[in-house]
Amino acid sequence: MPNKRSRCRDAYRIYCPYCELRLWRLNGPKHRLFYTGPDEISKNMNIPHGKATFSATKGPYVHEYCWLEEFFCSNHGNLWLRVRRSRDGSVNHSIARPEDWHRTTGTVSSE
Ligand SMILES: [Zn+2]
């Protein structure tokens, strides 16, 4: 079961979106995503528009629990995934898209 409690709270498994093999973490840098503008902040951070407007005046909003990270699949090689951790500890991930790279604090680009 994916939601079974693990001994280590930080341990979570990531599987290849293509072949469903378990992926290896490369322990490379995590590129946190950030959002700019009230609309983006409100939509992605799930906060009221008024609060987002206020946040936007202070600059980009960095998402602490959403980042791009490199993984390795024995079938598909290196993969950059967008990982998003919820407050309850569950993790969602998907292949990083070009627009995700435009929102990271890092400079690595897939383009
Ligand atoms: Zn794979």
Alpha-carbon distances, residue 78 vs 19, 41, 42, 60, 82 (angstroms): 13, 30, 32, 29, 13
Q: How many CB atoms lie within 10 A of CB 91?
A: 13
pTM of the model: 0.76
Q: How many CB atoms lie within 10 A of CB 61?
A: 21
Residue 66 host element (H or E): strand 61-73
Note residues around ion ligand 1 (Cβ under 5 angstroms). 16, 18-19, 73, 75-76
Q: What is the pLDDT of residues 57-102, one digit of tens each?
A: 999 899 889 999 999 999 999 999 999 998 888 889 999 999 899 8
Ligand 1 midpoint to CA 72 (Å):
8
Which amino acid would we find at residue 56? A
CA of 20 to the centre of ligand 1 (A): 6
